[in-house]
Structure 1
Amino acid sequence: MKGFIGARQTTLADEISLTGIGVHSGAPVSMTLCPADSDTGIRFHISKDDGESVEIAANQQWVSGVTLCTVLGDGNGASVATVEHVLAALRGLGVDNALIEIDSGEVPIMDGSAAPFVEAIDEAGLTELDAPRRFLKVLKPICVEDNGAVGELTPYNGFQLDVEIDFETPLIGLQKLTLDLNPGSFRRDIARARTFGFMKDVEQLWAAGLALGASLDNTVAIGEDRVINREGLRYDDEFVRHKALDAVGDLALAGAPILGAYRTRRGGHRLNALVLKALFADSEAWAMVEAPRYREVRHAELSPSLAAAHFAADRS
């Protein structure tokens, strides 16, 4: 890669076609991730029954639901649900621009993690574009408290996650995870962490028309005294790692990679959305900055915050 690492925007090198089911709808889904031009961002193209399509940008201003998953809606009835895992894969691997064509109102759940998306993106590869990469730089702390949950964004030289969960069941209990995010740590530490749910809640979810596609193939099922899945857990602390994965996907709705640290306690999709909303509501709390090209500045002039942010795809 020429010049400053991570200085240029990226997109997919080829199209990626995926099929699966929606974890809540139970309906079959076909989805294609397509390369896109500079400054396109991530956008969903949703096919309608009449043959037309609706475009919804992956941006926090279009969040229309945060119950059990993140939903984007255009305000006119079109929506796409469970966007967090594919967005986490794109952001975690450093994809700035992509069009996501989908024939359903829900992203396929795959195996309940981001791993299938990561594998597909790695197989397709990334390509650099000429435009400089833009970052959302956190300039001052933003903290949100919501019914016992706390989320906070603070300035940081890179992107750090500090996630804590606390469930009464001894199968989960108190779990913490802190890591600096880059493509290597994303693949290794959180991409394979699966969504989870409690068996005692299943009938209530079904009655509400939710989790109709959930199964042991895509969800870690928690019983009264054990994990039901025969293969067990992928990580000893898979639950907090999945919460971190969700946070990466939800924060991707900032529209650009974040230069900042995100701390969340007892959080989830709702809290993540509220923190982004609070950030954008304060114009003094953030700024959009561009990565400098190495040949244009001396090494000593590189901003530490930009130099620490490595979102370009690698294989570490």
Structure 2
Amino acid sequence: MTNPGTILMGDGDAIKASCNEMDRLPVDWDLSDKQVEPVRKYQTTLKESATISGPGTFMGKAMRTISFEPTKQEGWWLDRTDLPHTLPIRVGIANVWTTGQIVSNIVLRSGNPHNYVRMVEHIVSLRMGMGIDNMMIKIDSGDPPLFEQGSLDLVEALDQCGKVTTDKPVPYVTVKEPVTVGGTYGDFVTLAPPDDLDNPQLTVDCAINFKTAIGQQRIKFPVCEELTRMASIARTNTSLAKVVYCATIGRIFADVRHLGYNTKNVSIAGKRRYMNEPRLIHEGKALEAAWHRAVLDLLAAIALINNGLFIGKITSYKAGHRLDCELVRQLYLNQVLVPLEELKK
């Protein structure tokens, strides 16, 4: 049974009702028992650099380039090479500017108001699953490239770089008891401490519920490099209604008019069927939307915890970027994050 614990934001009765609703959903793909490597003791950075290019996300006719580079600084950083007099943006909750209006996405900004990068979630989410603690990400605009293979191109670029281990220990953080934030649509996200303090892991129980062909989906898994790699091919999902909107009324907005989305790089769901071929099918059911939500969206918000890697249990139901980021903000506002070692005492 889902235990919401302390409510940091939202209506307690509504959250409990949603917990009960999620508990009634069957688990479509349960990988809870998968054996994964013990948590790392020392921080890593890249061994070499790698560069990758693709059409822009918000400016689809323009080519955008990202370079992954080693760094001696702790954390992940975004460096706008087209703004040479600005400092790199640290990946962290303090630098979240917005989660988008028309197009839902996480936007990071620091210092100069022009020093921002949009749609960062599909990049920074990899901090949680690829075993890379410190990295400089150089990008030639605030509009990252969009790929037909989801984030797999980024994963393969990181593979080219390789990793080196430093002498700095990895700081791990968690919560002492379950904490929850709830939204206004029956959505919630809960963080809880790990079950096994002798072999602590980061685990996810994620469920979605759409009024389209996506329907109800629920997956459970431990966060690890193998599953991150598998899930990275999952694309952003959208509804056929939103596609029609973007092609008509939405064209009055520049962000929509120039979007790089197409039938290959997004999953489109109508009321009763998908408009293009879905991915990540398990036992006859397409779970692309659930894997995208869990690995490339939800974990992107957890990656915004920048004073340590979070270890524990994440439960998410019907949530999105806005609630994800509010969760992380509330963790700091309520000062509930603690070093993992504190629970072992």
TM-score normalised by length of structure 1: 0.83
Q: CA deviation at 1:206?
A: 3.8
Contact 1:195 1:220 in 2 (8 A): yes
Aligned to 2:109: 73
Residue 303 and residue 94 in structure 1: after superposition, are their counterparts in 2 closer, same or farther (change >3 A)?
Answer: farther
User: Aligned ranges for residues 141-156 of structure 1 at < 5 Å?
Assistant: 141-148=178-185, 149-156=187-194
Matched, 1:233 2:270: no
The answer to whether the aligner puts 1:286 opposite 2:331 as a matched pair is: no
For 2:202, which of 145, 159, 166 is the aligned residue? 159
User: Which residue matches 1:264?
Assistant: 316
Q: Is the 8 A contact 1:114 1:192 kept in 2?
A: yes
Shift of the 172–263 alpha-carbon distance from structure 1 to 2, 3 Å rule, reads same
CA 1:162–1:208 in 2, change beyond 3 Å: closer, same or farther? farther
Alignment partners' CA distance in 1, 2:250 and 2:327: 27
Report if aligned partners of 1:165, 1:175 keep a CA contact under 8 Å in 2: yes
1:95 to 107, 116, 132: 132
1:248 aligns with 2:299: yes
Unaligned runs of 5+ in 1: 292-301, 305-316
Q: CA deviation at 1:282?
A: 1.8
AA of the residue aligned to 2:118: A
The range that moved more, 198-207 or 108-117, is: 198-207
Change (3 A) 1:141 1:289: closer
Instruction: Name the counterpart of 2:262.
Output: 215
Using the alignment, how far apart are the partners of 1:290 and 1:101 within structure 2? 34
Letter in 1 for 2:318: R
Deviation at 1:289, TM superposition (A): 4.9
Question: Residue 219 of structure 1: CA displacement?
Answer: 0.7
Q: Do structure 1's residue 44 and structure 2's residue 44 form an aligned pair?
A: no
Superposition deviation, residue 209 in structure 1: 2.9
- Contact kept, 8 Å, 1:134 with 1:290, in 2: the verdict is no
1:232/1:164 Cα in 2 relative to 1: closer, same or farther (>3 Å)? closer
Residues 232, 145 of structure 1: alpha-carbon distance in 2 compared, 3 angstrom cutoff: closer
Q: Pick which of 205-214 and 137-146 moved more.
A: 205-214
How much is the aligned-residue C-alpha RMSD, in angstroms? 2.3
Alpha-carbon offset, residue 303 of structure 1: 5.4
Secondary structure in structure 2 of the residue aligned to 1:186: helix
**1:142, 1:152 within 8 Å by CA — same for their partners in 2?**
yes
Q: Which runs of 4+ in 1 moved over 4 A?
A: none
Q: How many residues align?
A: 285
Where in structure 2 are the equivalents of 1:165-184 lying within 5 Å? Answer: 165-169=208-212, 171-184=213-226
Deviation at 1:194, TM superposition (A): 1.1
The answer as to whether partners of 2:128 and 2:223 remain within 8 angstroms in 1 is no
Paired letter, 1:153: L
Partner secondary structure for residue 243 of structure 1: helix
CA deviation profile, 1:202-259 (whole Å, cap 9, x unmatched): 3254433335111123111223443222x44333111111100211122111123211
Structure 2 unaligned blocks of 5 or more: 1-37, 195-199
| Alpha carbons 1:142, 1:275 under 8 Å: kept | no
- Secondary structure of residue in 2 paired with 1:253: coil
Report SS of the residue matched to 2:319. Answer: coil
Residue 328 (structure 2) aligns with: 276
Task: Output aligned runs, 1:23-42, within 5 Å.
Answer: 23-26=57-60, 27-37=62-72, 39-42=73-76
Q: Is the 8 A contact 1:142 1:278 kept in 2?
A: no
Q: How does 1:129-144 map to 2 (within 5 A)?
A: 129-144=166-181
Please say if residues 155 and 232 of structure 2, whose CA atoms lie closer than 8 Å, have aligned partners that are also in contact. Answer: yes
Equivalents in 1 of 2:140, 2:87: separation in Å?
A: 11
- Whether the 8 Å CA contact 2:214–2:269 is kept in 1: the answer is no
Cα distance 1:257–1:5, how it changes in 2: closer, same or farther (>3 A)? closer
Distance 1:119 1:262 in 2: 27
**In 1, Cα distance between the equivalents of 2:274 and 2:94?**
37
- Secondary structure of 1:92's counterpart equals coil
Normalised by the length of structure 2, the TM-score is 0.77
